[in-house]
Amino acid sequence: RAGLSTSCIGRNIVHYHEVGSTNTVAKQLAERGEREGTVVIAEKQTEGRGRLGRRWESPYGKGIWLSIILRPRVATDAAPSITLLAAVAVAKAIKNFCGLEALIKWPNDILVRGKKVCGILTEMKADMDVVEYVVVGIGLNANLEVQDFPEEIRDKATSLRILLNKKISRVNLVRKLFGEFESLYNLFREHGFSPIRSMWKEMNTTLGQQVQVNTLTSVYSGLAVDITEDGGLVVETKEGTKVFYGGEVSLRKH
């Protein structure tokens, strides 16, 4: 905790050796009224989750497995943009701390040299149309080695250690991440999503690409052309222009 320069994000840290999922623990704490900025960090997750119930590999001591509790005073429509905010924060932290070119694949993956180095899972609770709390889960592959990844994801996943060919300081990277996150979150509270949307567009690898979008009920193909003011992905499909939100869709390169 020494040297932390933030006043909200990470001022209160709850550390575990092992949990099922940091998001699940953070949601339980948020339910009991835990304050904004509290972070749940675990050395290992046994049930780390991606979107749509997919598994997130989180081996002991190798990664940054954490969840941040936020209580933004916004309508539920604004929640998807918080995932994009988190992605910009992670990409900036990786750039500034490691000097690596990090790009964002909509909505929730950070890629370096085309491979996934971080995933983000945002979950929220709302009362009517107002957000009560948001939990932002960040799984950042800091010091994993190739053999720490299951074979089936070795061609699409990587870590900072693999990329840099040296171990990195997780503590220092977490500090950097909290700093970037807090700056962006303050900007979001003051000016809304629009300045973050511009930064996101500078760092993204999705716009201008042919994509295939799988929703729970259908599959669409088309050209990803823009991000809306509330974080939706605009795709020109055969059926016309459509907007998708991260929660219930997955995206494939076409």
Q: Is 89 exposed, middle or buried (0-12, 13-18, 19+ CB in 10 A)?
A: buried
**Contact status: 192 vs ligand ADP (CB under 6 A):** no
In terms of CB distance, is 128 or 217 closer to ligand ADP? 217
Q: Which of 38, 40, 57, 133 forms a contact with ligand ADP (CB under 6 A)?
A: 57
**Per-residue interface string for the shown chain with ligand ADP, residues 111-130, x marking contact by CB under 6 A:** -----x--x-----------
| Shortest CB 98 distance to ligand ADP, Å | 16
Residue 37 has which token pair?
Answer: 């900025």
In terms of CB distance, is 69 or 249 closer to ligand ADP? 249
Q: How far apart (Å, rounded) are the C-alpha atoms in residues 112 and 51?
A: 20
Residue 185 · residue 227 · CB < 8 Å = no
Q: Which of 75, 153, 219, 243 forms a contact with ligand ADP (CB under 6 A)?
A: 153
**Contact status: 50 vs ligand ADP (CB under 6 A):** yes
In terms of CB distance, is 52 or 75 closer to ligand ADP? 52
- Phi-psi bin for 165: left (phi > 0), alpha (psi -120 to 50), beta? left
Q: Which of 15, 54, 154, 253 forms a contact with ligand ADP (CB under 6 A)?
A: 54
Beta strands (DSSP E) in the chain are 13-19, 39-45, 64-70, 102-105, 109-112, 115-127, 130-140, 210-214, 219-227, 233-237, 240-244, 250-253
Bridge partners of residue 138, in order along the sequence: 66, 120
Q: Among 18, 98, 106, 21, which residue's Cα sits nearest to residue 67?
A: 21
Q: Is 209 helix (H, G, I), strand (E, B) or coil?
A: coil
**Per-residue interface string for the shown chain with ligand ADP, residues 83-112, x marking contact by CB under 6 A:** -------------------------xx---
Q: Which of 27, 51, 161, 176 forms a contact with ligand ADP (CB under 6 A)?
A: 51
Q: Which residues bind ligand ADP (CB under 6 A)?
A: 50-52, 54-57, 108-109, 116, 119, 139, 141, 153, 157, 250
